[in-house]
Structure 1
Amino acid sequence: MSFLGLAGLHAFVTGAAGGIGSAIVEEFLAQGCKVTAHDLRSVTRAPSPNLLTVQGDISSESSISSSITNAREHFGPIHILAANAGITDESNDYPIWQMPAELWDKTYAVNVRGTFLTIKHFLSAAELSQKEMGRELSNLAVVVTGSECGKFGQAGHGEYASGKAGLQYGLIRGVKNEIVRLNSKARINAVAPGWVDTPLIEGRLDDPKEMYREAQATVPLRKIANPTDVARAVVFLASHRAAGHITGECISVDGGMEGRIVWSESETLQGKKESPKSKIVRTQTAPPIPQALTPAAQPKNSIKLLISVDFDAVSGWLGTGASSDNNLADYSSGYFSANVGVPRLLKLFKKLGIADKITWFVPMHSAESFPEQFKAILDTGCEIGLHGYCHEGAPQLTPNQERDVLHYCISVYRTLTGGKKPLGYRAPLYQLRENTIALLEEYDFLYDSSLSHHDSTPYFIPRVPQIDTPSFTPTTSAATWMHPLPAPLPPTEKTLVEIPANWYAEDMTPLQYWPHTSNSQGYVDVRVVERMWMDRFEYLRREMGDEEMVVFPLILHPDTSGMAHVIGMIERVLGWLKGWAEEVEYLTMGDVARRWKAKAEGRG
């Protein structure tokens, strides 16, 4: 017989499909209990004669009442309730004055109302069982899953922290005085976990600074709890034999978490090997984003975060994306770009407080075809650069056509922006040639962002002649191609500043499918791209801190990043970058080009 004396008792566990809930189910089964595992989702586990799985919604009174009735009919009287179900939204951090009421209501509907309804109908069922039996149920116990957020609070998550505080301090201390009127030995307690390695916090501690600040610096044991750590505390409190004189208490399962720093950052992050117990393992299809255990020295200068958006819309299918097989289904994604993608990105940029630091590259076909969206972009105070008329690639045009397109685009730009002059240019599909550069210099552009001679610092575009492709024919002498590149000429006053751009900095190639494009992908897991971008930033921060100016460009497209499964990743990355605080600075490309050129010319 186990010391806990729970064998043969019936335990009802809510939130049983989650990390902690599934561990609670396993612990009760290991103690010889009959277990009803309840969740809104399907509970997947190997069948057992002692296990009943039930789907239901704890925030619905009829649903939870029905679930408890079904459990009682299947296994008989319910002795133990593990009220574990709860939700949180870790994708956003809202200060109380910005928190959507809908989020508050949704969280309270599950965490507070749902827990109340679960306890209510569990005790009602116990009362009915006792009347039928003519005696008190043995080992009648309730254990509520709270949170250390309810003890210490959690900035940005008042809806979660306040609800948990109400449960673990208010509710259980009131119910402990009522429950004994139903059953003289009945008890109710709570557990308050700190950080636990479950999918609920997936991605929350990917940032090593966040890991240190939230989960290591304040925890003497310096480790993240496993779900089993919490489950065993729940089973202990459920046992009359082990905890029969404990009621109305909230037991912290948090490694000794304090509301102050216990370990210095150097003690926690430097020179220590990660132990298996402290390593977070997440359930996801892509590998987790690696965590740097040894932080790099802070860069001498802030890294310039250059977020640009190519608003191609339908024009992307007319120029470089032209195909005789294109049809309305293809053009439809261009309409999505304008009507859905642009508003979603604008909303996100405003939420992050960076809308006026974004550089939008807009084909004038998009500006003229979708004037409301263009005005909404313009009204943010952002920078707008040119991107062709209908996304024409330079190789598609004659030099005269290219001049005509640029001249017309400048004219439209001036009309739509109240006479402003464009400073920046990005070649559609990064396709430009020496003639393009000469035209941009002639029209007094400040910078281009299409090339990748470097990936993280601005530079003057080298002034070199056109590079000719060798002619490998039987009659051609090898001597005609065996010579080095000519040395670049010194930059002039008109030489363009180049802001690096490359395929690995953009979203579209891996994340959007183009049916008639040979290198189209579109089915790459967003977390692969997310990890790649974060890895690139961490390398630049670690290895290029002494450079005069380090830039980190990202290139987005509304038709790609505006998609529902992508924009959440964009928000995570931009928020993560912003979290580096004084080490980073969001800027437009024009601002960076001006600063860099002034320094390069000895004026900065």
Structure 2
Amino acid sequence: MHDIARPEFFTPRHFNRLLRPFHPSSAPPQHHVMDLGLQGVHVIVTGASGGIGLETVKLFCALGANVTAHYNSQFGPIQELLASNANLQHVQANLSKEEAVVAMFESLSAMPHGLVQVVIVNHAIYPTLDVPIARMTLDQWNTTITTNLTSSFLVCREYLKHLERAPSTIKEKAAIVLIGSTAGKYGEANHGDYAATKSAMMYGLNLTLKNEIVKIAPKGRVNCIAPGWVKTPMAEEALKDPRTVYRVLATSPLKKVAMPIDVATQIVVLASSTLSGHVTGQVVMVEGGMEGRLLNRPEDLQGS
């Protein structure tokens, strides 16, 4: 049997040569920053005055996007950013009200940034009191469903309506990023209302929208980010309890609570048609590798 000589491109020496950066001897190494394709793209972030929303606004602004920061009642955190970000505008609306969402998108069309290209559906409430389903009032259930889920439907609906009338240059960057939660994947005892809204967004709404947006914008994409616990002002008090921290981290190999920037960067990745142009209908879990929930405390197992 004759030996067959390996082609040159299979040799380690050749691969090493390919991997070694080439720099002309007369010029210093050049460092390039990847263009995420967000420069001048109009992005609206709902619920922008909270921890994740605010960090997301900052990041999009830094990347050159034209950003609209939405808020309902807390304008203060957004106001502080306006002076230092010429590409930032703001809008107020109660997204639980159909007429308010319709009016918001109409007003955005007439504002400096023009038609919305990317929507980050970030707003939500998380009832702080622990209430099991057996004790939950219909009023609480309806309030959470309306505030989290119905409002998200309204935002997506009005966005798609305006996208239908948009020129192809606007449609090129079309994307929706929904914000889910580990509660939507694993459920959450005593917060069934919140878990139900997040599960609906992560699966039913996400997977439906990704098939519908392409009928309007052929390159349009819809994805979802699902964080676990995040160090936001809303979670700060709860995370002071060591027992809570233990339950949060017990099934996480990274053994740390996420920061808002951890979530914001993943939102930007999915919003970018450069990085995620062939990614749609996905749920990206940002929870440090969490494998589930601890259902029982040691005292719960005594006598079992």
For Structure 1 versus Structure 2, the TM-score category normalised by the shorter chain is: 0.7 to 0.9
Report the equivalent of 1:51.
Answer: 88
Q: Which amino acid counterpart does residue 141 of structure 1 have in structure 2?
A: A
Matched, 1:78 2:116: yes
Report the equivalent of 1:178.
Answer: 212
Report the equivalent of 1:153.
Answer: 187
1:9-38 deviations in Å (ceiling 9; x for gaps): 000110000000001101110110000000
Matched, 1:4 2:36: yes
Compute the displacement of 1:143 (Å).
Answer: 0.1
* Secondary structure of residue in 2 paired with 1:32: coil
1:241-291 deviations in Å (ceiling 9; x for gaps): 100111011100111111167xxxxxxxxxxxxxxxxxxxxxxxxxxxxxx
Any residues of structure 2 matched to 1:425-436 within 5 Å, and which? none
1:71-111 deviations in Å (ceiling 9; x for gaps): 22211121100000000112x11111111111111111111
Compute the displacement of 1:581 (Å).
Answer: 6.3
Rounded Cα–Cα distance in structure 2 between residues aligned with 1:69 and 1:2: 34
Rounded Cα–Cα distance in structure 2 between residues aligned with 1:135 and 1:39: 28
Report the equivalent of 2:269.
Answer: 236
Compute the displacement of 1:61 (Å).
Answer: 1.3
Matched, 1:257 2:295: no
Q: Which amino acid counterpart does residue 185 of structure 1 have in structure 2?
A: K
Compute the displacement of 1:45 (Å).
Answer: 2.3
Kindly name which structure, 1 or 2, has the bigger radius of gyration based on alpha carbons.
1
Q: Which amino acid counterpart does residue 217 of structure 2 have in structure 1?
A: N
Compute the displacement of 1:135 (Å).
Answer: 6.1
Rounded Cα–Cα distance in structure 2 between residues aligned with 1:100 and 1:201: 24
Rounded Cα–Cα distance in structure 2 between residues aligned with 1:260 and 1:158: 15
Kept in 1, the 8 Å contact 2:183–2:194? The answer is yes
* Secondary structure of residue in 2 paired with 1:205: helix
**Paired residue total:** 260
Compute the displacement of 1:49 (Å).
Answer: 2.0
Compute the displacement of 1:46 (Å).
Answer: 2.9
Rounded Cα–Cα distance in structure 2 between residues aligned with 1:29 and 1:3: 14
Rounded Cα–Cα distance in structure 2 between residues aligned with 1:32 and 1:209: 42
* Secondary structure of residue in 2 paired with 1:129: coil
Kept in 2, the 8 Å contact 1:220–1:257? The answer is yes
Which runs of no fewer than 5 residues in structure 1 stay unpaired? 262-578, 583-604
Structure 1 residues 94-103 or 63-72, which shifts more?
63-72
Rounded Cα–Cα distance in structure 2 between residues aligned with 1:241 and 1:45: 30
Compute the displacement of 1:580 (Å).
Answer: 10
Q: Which amino acid counterpart does residue 62 of structure 1 have in structure 2?
A: E
* Secondary structure of residue in 2 paired with 1:97: helix
* Secondary structure of residue in 1 paired with 2:211: helix
Kept in 1, the 8 Å contact 2:47–2:70? The answer is yes
Rounded Cα–Cα distance in structure 2 between residues aligned with 1:8 and 1:162: 36
Any residues of structure 2 matched to 1:336-355 within 5 Å, and which? none
1:156-199 deviations in Å (ceiling 9; x for gaps): 00000011000011101011111100010000000000000112
Rounded Cα–Cα distance in structure 2 between residues aligned with 1:118 and 1:157: 24
Normalising by the residue count of structure 2, what TM-score does the alignment of the two structures yield?
0.82
Q: Which runs of structure 1 show a deviation greater than 6 angstroms over 4 or more consecutive aligned residues?
A: 579-582
Rounded Cα–Cα distance in structure 1 between residues aligned with 2:150 and 2:57: 23
1:379-432 deviations in Å (ceiling 9; x for gaps): xxxxxxxxxxxxxxxxxxxxxxxxxxxxxxxxxxxxxxxxxxxxxxxxxxxxxx
Any residues of structure 2 matched to 1:98-497 within 5 Å, and which? 98-130=135-167, 137-213=171-247, 215-259=248-292
Rounded Cα–Cα distance in structure 2 between residues aligned with 1:96 and 1:52: 40
Kept in 2, the 8 Å contact 1:149–1:164? The answer is yes
Matched, 1:23 2:55: yes
Report the equivalent of 2:100.
Answer: 63
Compute the displacement of 1:117 (Å).
Answer: 0.4
Rounded Cα–Cα distance in structure 1 between residues aligned with 2:56 and 2:282: 19
Q: Percent identity?
A: 40
Rounded Cα–Cα distance in structure 2 between residues aligned with 1:63 and 1:200: 25
1:282-302 deviations in Å (ceiling 9; x for gaps): xxxxxxxxxxxxxxxxxxxxx
Normalising by the residue count of structure 1, what TM-score does the alignment of the two structures yield?
0.42
Q: Which amino acid counterpart does residue 121 of structure 2 have in structure 1?
A: A
Kept in 2, the 8 Å contact 1:27–1:231? The answer is yes
* Secondary structure of residue in 2 paired with 1:44: helix
Aligned mate of 2:67, from 30, 35, 41? 35
Kept in 2, the 8 Å contact 1:52–1:71? The answer is no
* Secondary structure of residue in 1 paired with 2:80: coil
Rounded Cα–Cα distance in structure 2 between residues aligned with 1:24 and 1:7: 15
Compute the displacement of 1:225 (Å).
Answer: 0.5
Instruction: Tell me: CA distance 1:198–1:135, structure 2 relative to 1, closer, same or farther (3 Å).
Output: closer
Kept in 2, the 8 Å contact 1:3–1:242? The answer is no
Q: Which amino acid counterpart does residue 45 of structure 1 have in structure 2?
A: E
1:430-461 deviations in Å (ceiling 9; x for gaps): xxxxxxxxxxxxxxxxxxxxxxxxxxxxxxxx
Which runs of no fewer than 5 residues in structure 2 stay unpaired? 1-32
Compute the displacement of 1:3 (Å).
Answer: 3.0
Kept in 1, the 8 Å contact 2:174–2:217? The answer is yes
Instruction: Tell me: CA distance 1:136–1:21, structure 2 relative to 1, closer, same or farther (3 Å).
Output: closer
Rounded Cα–Cα distance in structure 2 between residues aligned with 1:581 and 1:195: 24
How much is the aligned-residue C-alpha RMSD, in angstroms? Answer: 1.8
Rounded Cα–Cα distance in structure 1 between residues aligned with 2:246 and 2:144: 27
Kept in 1, the 8 Å contact 2:171–2:219? The answer is no
